[in-house]
Amino acid sequence: MTDTHCHLDHMEPEEAQAALQAARHFRALLTIGTDPVRNRQALSWAEAHPRVFASVGLHPTEAHLLSPELEADLAHLAAHPRVRAIGESGLDFYWRPETRAAQYRALEFQHRLALERGLPLVLHVRSRGGEAEAELARWLLQHRPPRFVLHAFGGHPELLEAGLRLGGYFSFAGPLTYRKNQALREAARRVPLDRLLVETDAPFLPPEPHRGRRNQPAWVVYTLARLAELFGLGLEEMEALTDQNARTCFGLDQRPSGP
């Protein structure tokens, strides 16, 4: 299995080591940076563990930190061979709506950086009324990034249509398993099989039956099983399919190297 989005840096070292041990049979994990400090923490995990890869970026709630110095730092980190994506970037009007202009600047910089490095762009989006989702859909249709991932996709109709039209990857997390999320499951059924990814967003978004606990990469199997059920596939078949999609999207067939 592959967990395409987790945050080992949001765990205590002992917790993260235990989580990696629980996921020792996984093909790969992608741990996601969100600010200057956490980018380096993510990269440290990737350097220390052959199955761990990193993404570096600036989360939209941290977009106010963007500066020429930070842009140079991100460009430097993005060249590391264990970095396989840029982000998570995107739009978040839930926590920091007042930074909208800064969020767009950070998103557009990370889009350019992803293009320069030939890496996928990992996109976060959140708002109370779907405003950020609709704006991100319009941004995608305008900028047309060649490879992007809608992380923890929530099923927004306009964003679904934009992602389908542009051939983006849709990554599903614990909420796909929640009993009341039938609309999200209906949206998932519309995604082509070669565009499906699974993630945990650990230690956040735990799946059923672990809601209320700190998530871990090993629990991606619950989302995988729900996705397999939706498509009428066996668990091993869906595992192989999403693993292949992750390898294609993030270049995981390339042998990791570097420090």
- pLDDT the model gives residue 33: 98
Residue 68 host element (H or E): helix 68-78
- pLDDT the model gives residue 123: 98
- pLDDT the model gives residue 162: 98
pLDDT tens-digit readout, 100-109: 999 999 999 9
Residue 4 host element (H or E): strand 2-6
SS3 126: strand
- pLDDT the model gives residue 253: 74
Is 243's pLDDT higher than 70?
A: yes
Domain boundaries, the chain: 2-250
Question: What value does the mean pLDDT of the chain take?
Answer: 96
Interval 197-222 mean pLDDT: 98
Helical residues (DSSP H) of 79-219, grouped into ranges? 100-117, 131-143, 157-166, 182-188
Please say whether the beta carbons of 115 and 145 come within 8 A: yes
pLDDT tens-digit readout, 4-26: 999 999 999 999 999 999 999 99
- pLDDT the model gives residue 23: 97
* pLDDT interval class at 254 (50, 70, 90): low
Say how far apart CA 174 and CA 164 lie, in whole Å. 21
State the number of CA atoms in the 13 A half-sphere of 10 facing the CB: 17
Helical residues (DSSP H) of 79-130, grouped into ranges? 100-117
pTM of the entire predicted model = 0.96
- pLDDT the model gives residue 19: 98
Is 194's pLDDT higher than 60?
A: yes
- pLDDT the model gives residue 257: 38
Q: Of 2.40.30.110, 3.20.20.140, 3.40.1160.10, 3.30.750.24, which CATH number belongs to 2-250?
A: 3.20.20.140
Interval 42-52 mean pLDDT: 97
Is 73's pLDDT higher than 60?
A: yes
